[in-house]
Structure 1
Amino acid sequence: MAIRLHGREASSAARRITAARILEEAVARGGTVSADDLRGEDPTTSLKGHAAGLTRTLTRALQEGWLPEGIESPVQGIGPGYGKVQGYRVHADLLPLFRAAVLSQPSERRTRLSTEITDSNVTWDAALASKTLGVYKLTTDLDAASILLQRLAETGLITETTPGNYHRPNIRKN
Protein backbone atom coordinates (compact mmCIF):
# COMPACT_ATOMS: atom_id res chain seq x y z
CA MET A 1 0.00 0.00 0.00
CA ALA A 2 1.28 3.48 -0.81
CA ILE A 3 0.33 6.72 0.88
CA ARG A 4 0.31 10.06 -0.92
CA LEU A 5 1.49 13.13 0.96
CA HIS A 6 2.08 16.50 -0.68
CA GLY A 7 1.89 14.83 -4.08
CA ARG A 8 4.63 12.28 -3.33
CA GLU A 9 4.27 8.61 -2.67
CA ALA A 10 5.43 7.13 0.62
CA SER A 11 6.44 3.54 -0.07
CA SER A 12 5.67 0.95 2.57
CA ALA A 13 8.27 -1.43 1.14
CA ALA A 14 10.87 -2.58 3.64
CA ARG A 15 14.14 -0.67 3.64
CA ARG A 16 17.44 -2.51 3.61
CA ILE A 17 18.58 -3.60 7.07
CA THR A 18 22.09 -2.41 7.95
CA ALA A 19 23.94 -1.71 11.17
CA ALA A 20 23.52 2.02 10.53
CA ARG A 21 19.77 1.59 10.07
CA ILE A 22 19.46 -0.44 13.27
CA LEU A 23 21.20 2.35 15.19
CA GLU A 24 19.17 5.12 13.51
CA GLU A 25 15.86 3.35 14.10
CA ALA A 26 16.70 2.67 17.75
CA VAL A 27 17.74 6.25 18.56
CA ALA A 28 14.81 7.76 16.64
CA ARG A 29 12.36 5.55 18.53
CA GLY A 30 13.56 6.38 22.03
CA GLY A 31 16.27 3.74 22.35
CA THR A 32 14.55 0.54 21.19
CA VAL A 33 13.51 -0.88 17.83
CA SER A 34 11.65 -4.15 17.45
CA ALA A 35 12.64 -6.83 14.98
CA ASP A 36 9.21 -6.51 13.36
CA ASP A 37 9.75 -2.79 12.75
CA LEU A 38 13.08 -3.55 11.06
CA ARG A 39 11.62 -6.35 8.96
CA GLY A 40 8.75 -4.22 7.71
CA GLU A 41 6.13 -6.06 5.67
CA ASP A 42 8.23 -9.20 5.17
CA PRO A 43 8.22 -11.18 8.45
CA THR A 44 10.69 -13.69 6.98
CA THR A 45 13.48 -11.10 6.62
CA SER A 46 16.49 -12.26 8.59
CA LEU A 47 18.28 -9.93 10.99
CA LYS A 48 21.17 -12.37 11.39
CA GLY A 49 24.55 -10.66 11.17
CA HIS A 50 23.27 -7.15 10.55
CA ALA A 51 24.61 -5.76 13.83
CA ALA A 52 28.13 -6.98 12.99
CA GLY A 53 29.02 -3.56 11.54
CA LEU A 54 28.37 -2.01 14.94
CA THR A 55 30.71 -4.51 16.58
CA ARG A 56 33.45 -3.81 14.00
CA THR A 57 33.08 -0.05 14.53
CA LEU A 58 33.25 -0.42 18.32
CA THR A 59 36.33 -2.66 18.03
CA ARG A 60 38.08 -0.10 15.83
CA ALA A 61 37.12 2.77 18.15
CA LEU A 62 38.64 0.87 21.08
CA GLN A 63 41.82 0.08 19.12
CA GLU A 64 42.21 3.72 18.09
CA GLY A 65 41.62 4.93 21.65
CA TRP A 66 38.43 6.82 20.74
CA LEU A 67 36.50 4.99 23.46
CA PRO A 68 37.59 3.89 26.95
CA GLU A 69 38.61 0.26 27.51
CA GLY A 70 35.88 -1.99 28.85
CA ILE A 71 32.95 -0.10 27.29
CA GLU A 72 30.13 -2.41 26.26
CA SER A 73 28.62 -2.34 22.83
CA PRO A 74 26.19 0.60 22.79
CA VAL A 75 23.60 -1.49 20.93
CA GLN A 76 22.41 -4.76 22.42
CA GLY A 77 20.17 -7.39 20.93
CA ILE A 78 16.92 -8.01 22.78
CA GLY A 79 15.89 -11.62 23.20
CA PRO A 80 16.42 -14.82 25.11
CA GLY A 81 20.07 -15.11 24.05
CA TYR A 82 19.43 -17.77 21.42
CA GLY A 83 17.36 -17.87 18.25
CA LYS A 84 15.91 -14.81 16.58
CA VAL A 85 16.46 -11.42 18.16
CA GLN A 86 13.32 -9.56 19.19
CA GLY A 87 14.88 -6.17 18.55
CA TYR A 88 17.75 -3.88 19.52
CA ARG A 89 18.29 -1.43 22.36
CA VAL A 90 20.70 1.48 22.84
CA HIS A 91 21.86 1.82 26.44
CA ALA A 92 19.83 4.63 28.06
CA ASP A 93 22.95 6.43 29.31
CA LEU A 94 24.38 6.52 25.76
CA LEU A 95 21.13 7.49 24.01
CA PRO A 96 21.68 11.29 24.15
CA LEU A 97 25.18 10.92 22.70
CA PHE A 98 24.03 8.67 19.87
CA ARG A 99 20.98 10.81 19.15
CA ALA A 100 23.16 13.87 18.68
CA ALA A 101 25.56 11.97 16.42
CA VAL A 102 23.16 9.84 14.38
CA LEU A 103 20.45 12.45 13.85
CA SER A 104 23.06 14.97 12.67
CA GLN A 105 23.93 12.75 9.72
CA PRO A 106 22.13 12.72 6.38
CA SER A 107 19.33 10.18 6.53
CA GLU A 108 15.96 9.37 5.01
CA ARG A 109 14.31 11.07 8.01
CA ARG A 110 16.19 14.34 7.40
CA THR A 111 15.57 14.20 3.66
CA ARG A 112 11.84 13.54 4.03
CA LEU A 113 11.45 16.21 6.70
CA SER A 114 13.42 18.76 4.65
CA THR A 115 11.20 18.12 1.64
CA GLU A 116 8.01 18.41 3.66
CA ILE A 117 9.19 21.67 5.23
CA THR A 118 10.20 23.09 1.84
CA ASP A 119 6.75 22.27 0.45
CA SER A 120 4.77 23.76 3.33
CA ASN A 121 3.77 27.10 4.79
CA VAL A 122 3.21 25.98 8.36
CA THR A 123 5.02 26.39 11.64
CA TRP A 124 6.81 23.18 12.54
CA ASP A 125 7.24 21.64 15.97
CA ALA A 126 8.36 18.21 17.16
CA ALA A 127 4.80 16.81 17.15
CA LEU A 128 4.18 17.80 13.51
CA ALA A 129 7.61 16.52 12.45
CA SER A 130 7.01 13.18 14.20
CA LYS A 131 3.53 12.83 12.70
CA THR A 132 4.79 13.68 9.21
CA LEU A 133 7.63 11.15 9.38
CA GLY A 134 5.16 8.54 10.62
CA VAL A 135 3.32 8.78 7.31
CA TYR A 136 6.52 7.49 5.69
CA LYS A 137 6.75 4.70 8.30
CA LEU A 138 9.75 6.49 9.84
CA THR A 139 8.59 6.37 13.45
CA THR A 140 10.29 9.17 15.37
CA ASP A 141 9.70 10.11 19.00
CA LEU A 142 9.34 13.75 20.03
CA ASP A 143 12.91 14.10 21.34
CA ALA A 144 14.37 12.80 18.07
CA ALA A 145 12.01 15.02 16.03
CA SER A 146 13.13 18.02 18.05
CA ILE A 147 16.79 17.22 17.34
CA LEU A 148 16.05 16.85 13.63
CA LEU A 149 14.39 20.28 13.58
CA GLN A 150 17.36 21.80 15.42
CA ARG A 151 19.76 20.29 12.88
CA LEU A 152 17.69 21.63 9.98
CA ALA A 153 17.73 25.07 11.63
CA GLU A 154 21.53 24.87 11.73
CA THR A 155 21.51 24.40 7.94
CA GLY A 156 19.38 27.53 7.48
CA LEU A 157 16.41 25.64 6.00
CA ILE A 158 14.21 26.76 8.90
CA THR A 159 14.37 29.41 11.61
CA GLU A 160 13.35 28.96 15.23
CA THR A 161 10.66 31.60 15.87
CA THR A 162 9.88 30.68 19.47
CA PRO A 163 11.39 27.83 21.51
CA GLY A 164 10.53 24.59 19.72
CA ASN A 165 8.68 26.26 16.81
CA TYR A 166 10.22 26.66 13.38
CA HIS A 167 9.26 28.08 10.00
CA ARG A 168 10.91 28.64 6.65
CA PRO A 169 12.72 32.00 6.64
CA ASN A 170 10.80 33.30 3.62
CA ILE A 171 7.40 32.56 5.19
CA ARG A 172 5.90 35.31 7.31
CA LYS A 173 4.00 34.50 10.45
CA ASN A 174 0.44 35.79 10.63
Structure 2
Amino acid sequence: MDEVVIGAAPRPEPVLAGSWLTVLGGMLDFHRATLVWKCSGLTDAELRRRPLRSELSLLGLLRHLQGAERYWFGVRIGGTTPAFHPYRMYRTAQGEQWYDEADPTPASEVYADYLAACAESRAVHRRLGEADLDRLVDNDEFGPASVRFVLLHLVEEYARHVGHADLLRETIDGTTGE
Protein backbone atom coordinates (compact mmCIF):
# COMPACT_ATOMS: atom_id res chain seq x y z
CA MET A 1 0.00 0.00 0.00
CA ASP A 2 1.23 3.49 -0.82
CA GLU A 3 2.13 5.82 2.00
CA VAL A 4 0.17 8.96 2.69
CA VAL A 5 1.94 11.96 1.12
CA ILE A 6 0.50 14.77 3.23
CA GLY A 7 -0.27 14.16 6.89
CA ALA A 8 -2.59 16.14 9.12
CA ALA A 9 -3.04 19.64 7.73
CA PRO A 10 -4.20 22.24 10.23
CA ARG A 11 -5.75 25.42 8.86
CA PRO A 12 -5.32 28.88 10.33
CA GLU A 13 -8.39 30.87 11.27
CA PRO A 14 -9.16 33.57 8.71
CA VAL A 15 -7.80 37.00 9.64
CA LEU A 16 -10.86 39.15 10.25
CA ALA A 17 -9.28 42.52 11.07
CA GLY A 18 -6.14 44.45 10.33
CA SER A 19 -4.61 46.28 7.40
CA TRP A 20 -5.73 45.35 3.92
CA LEU A 21 -2.42 43.54 3.32
CA THR A 22 -2.73 41.63 6.60
CA VAL A 23 -6.30 40.50 5.95
CA LEU A 24 -5.53 39.56 2.35
CA GLY A 25 -2.37 37.65 3.36
CA GLY A 26 -4.43 35.79 5.95
CA MET A 27 -7.04 34.92 3.32
CA LEU A 28 -4.37 33.58 0.99
CA ASP A 29 -2.88 31.49 3.80
CA PHE A 30 -6.34 30.16 4.67
CA HIS A 31 -6.92 29.07 1.05
CA ARG A 32 -3.41 27.60 0.77
CA ALA A 33 -4.01 25.57 3.92
CA THR A 34 -7.46 24.51 2.71
CA LEU A 35 -5.94 23.14 -0.51
CA VAL A 36 -3.37 21.17 1.49
CA TRP A 37 -6.13 19.98 3.85
CA LYS A 38 -8.08 18.67 0.85
CA CYS A 39 -4.97 16.74 -0.25
CA SER A 40 -4.10 15.37 3.20
CA GLY A 41 -4.37 11.70 4.03
CA LEU A 42 -4.06 10.58 0.40
CA THR A 43 -1.45 8.48 -1.36
CA ASP A 44 0.51 9.41 -4.47
CA ALA A 45 -1.90 7.35 -6.59
CA GLU A 46 -4.97 9.00 -5.05
CA LEU A 47 -3.53 12.49 -5.56
CA ARG A 48 -3.02 11.64 -9.25
CA ARG A 49 -6.57 10.35 -9.76
CA ARG A 50 -8.82 12.20 -12.18
CA PRO A 51 -12.21 10.99 -10.97
CA LEU A 52 -14.22 13.51 -12.97
CA ARG A 53 -14.56 13.94 -16.72
CA SER A 54 -11.74 16.46 -16.59
CA GLU A 55 -7.97 16.71 -16.67
CA LEU A 56 -8.02 17.90 -13.04
CA SER A 57 -6.33 16.01 -10.23
CA LEU A 58 -5.40 17.18 -6.76
CA LEU A 59 -1.73 16.77 -7.66
CA GLY A 60 -2.30 18.84 -10.80
CA LEU A 61 -3.83 21.60 -8.68
CA LEU A 62 -0.73 21.62 -6.44
CA ARG A 63 1.49 21.88 -9.55
CA HIS A 64 -0.66 24.62 -11.06
CA LEU A 65 -0.83 26.72 -7.92
CA GLN A 66 2.92 26.55 -7.27
CA GLY A 67 3.27 28.01 -10.75
CA ALA A 68 0.71 30.73 -9.99
CA GLU A 69 2.52 31.59 -6.74
CA ARG A 70 5.87 31.91 -8.50
CA TYR A 71 4.53 33.76 -11.52
CA TRP A 72 2.44 36.34 -9.69
CA PHE A 73 4.47 36.85 -6.52
CA GLY A 74 7.93 36.12 -7.84
CA VAL A 75 7.98 37.33 -11.43
CA ARG A 76 5.28 40.02 -11.47
CA ILE A 77 5.18 41.51 -7.97
CA GLY A 78 8.71 40.70 -6.81
CA GLY A 79 10.49 41.19 -10.13
CA THR A 80 12.57 38.05 -9.60
CA THR A 81 13.28 35.00 -11.69
CA PRO A 82 12.11 32.13 -9.49
CA ALA A 83 13.27 28.57 -10.05
CA PHE A 84 10.30 26.76 -11.55
CA HIS A 85 10.38 22.96 -11.18
CA PRO A 86 10.77 21.34 -14.62
CA TYR A 87 7.41 19.58 -14.69
CA ARG A 88 6.41 17.92 -17.95
CA MET A 89 4.24 20.26 -20.03
CA TYR A 90 2.17 20.05 -23.20
CA ARG A 91 0.50 22.51 -25.59
CA THR A 92 -3.28 22.70 -25.67
CA ALA A 93 -5.27 22.97 -28.90
CA GLN A 94 -5.36 26.73 -28.22
CA GLY A 95 -1.55 26.84 -28.08
CA GLU A 96 -1.30 27.36 -24.32
CA GLN A 97 1.22 25.48 -22.22
CA TRP A 98 -0.26 23.26 -19.49
CA TYR A 99 0.92 20.68 -16.97
CA ASP A 100 0.98 17.10 -18.24
CA GLU A 101 -0.86 14.88 -15.77
CA ALA A 102 1.44 12.01 -16.80
CA ASP A 103 4.41 13.82 -15.21
CA PRO A 104 6.22 11.19 -13.11
CA THR A 105 7.43 13.58 -10.38
CA PRO A 106 6.57 11.95 -7.03
CA ALA A 107 3.68 13.61 -5.20
CA SER A 108 5.91 14.20 -2.17
CA GLU A 109 8.26 16.26 -4.36
CA VAL A 110 5.36 18.23 -5.88
CA TYR A 111 4.06 18.93 -2.37
CA ALA A 112 7.50 20.10 -1.16
CA ASP A 113 7.79 22.33 -4.23
CA TYR A 114 4.33 23.78 -3.55
CA LEU A 115 5.27 24.57 0.05
CA ALA A 116 8.51 26.21 -1.11
CA ALA A 117 6.60 28.36 -3.63
CA CYS A 118 4.19 29.48 -0.88
CA ALA A 119 7.12 30.38 1.41
CA GLU A 120 8.71 32.40 -1.40
CA SER A 121 5.40 34.22 -1.94
CA ARG A 122 5.00 34.99 1.75
CA ALA A 123 8.48 36.56 1.75
CA VAL A 124 7.48 38.84 -1.14
CA HIS A 125 4.17 39.65 0.55
CA ARG A 126 5.94 40.63 3.81
CA ARG A 127 7.98 43.21 1.90
CA LEU A 128 4.90 44.91 0.46
CA GLY A 129 3.68 48.20 1.88
CA GLU A 130 0.50 50.14 1.30
CA ALA A 131 2.26 52.26 -1.35
CA ASP A 132 2.98 49.12 -3.40
CA LEU A 133 -0.70 48.33 -3.85
CA ASP A 134 -1.21 50.86 -6.64
CA ARG A 135 2.02 49.96 -8.47
CA LEU A 136 1.30 48.57 -11.92
CA VAL A 137 2.84 45.28 -12.98
CA ASP A 138 2.84 43.96 -16.52
CA ASN A 139 1.49 40.51 -17.22
CA ASP A 140 0.48 38.50 -20.24
CA GLU A 141 -2.98 37.64 -18.97
CA PHE A 142 -4.50 41.04 -18.13
CA GLY A 143 -2.03 43.68 -19.25
CA PRO A 144 -0.84 46.29 -16.75
CA ALA A 145 -2.62 45.73 -13.43
CA SER A 146 -2.13 47.02 -9.91
CA VAL A 147 -0.52 44.87 -7.24
CA ARG A 148 -3.87 45.16 -5.41
CA PHE A 149 -5.63 43.54 -8.39
CA VAL A 150 -2.99 40.79 -8.60
CA LEU A 151 -3.43 39.94 -4.92
CA LEU A 152 -7.22 39.80 -5.32
CA HIS A 153 -6.77 37.68 -8.44
CA LEU A 154 -4.72 35.19 -6.41
CA VAL A 155 -7.48 34.93 -3.80
CA GLU A 156 -9.96 34.30 -6.64
CA GLU A 157 -7.62 31.73 -8.21
CA TYR A 158 -7.34 29.85 -4.93
CA ALA A 159 -11.05 30.06 -4.14
CA ARG A 160 -11.91 28.56 -7.53
CA HIS A 161 -9.36 25.76 -7.28
CA VAL A 162 -10.17 24.94 -3.66
CA GLY A 163 -13.73 24.39 -4.90
CA HIS A 164 -12.37 22.01 -7.52
CA ALA A 165 -10.30 20.27 -4.81
CA ASP A 166 -13.42 19.84 -2.69
CA LEU A 167 -15.24 18.06 -5.53
CA LEU A 168 -12.22 15.92 -6.41
CA ARG A 169 -11.70 14.84 -2.81
CA GLU A 170 -15.33 13.92 -2.30
CA THR A 171 -15.26 11.87 -5.50
CA ILE A 172 -12.02 10.09 -4.51
CA ASP A 173 -12.99 8.92 -1.04
CA GLY A 174 -16.21 10.61 0.08
CA THR A 175 -14.49 13.10 2.39
CA THR A 176 -16.41 16.36 2.59
CA GLY A 177 -16.01 19.59 4.48
CA GLU A 178 -16.10 23.30 3.95
Q: TM-score, normalised by structure 1?
A: 0.26
Q: More relative contact order in 1 or in 2 (CA 8 Å, sep 6+)?
A: 2
Identify the structure with the greater helix proportion: 2
Q: TM-score, normalised by structure 2?
A: 0.26
Identify the structure with the greater strand proportion: 1
Structure number, greater radius of gyration? 1
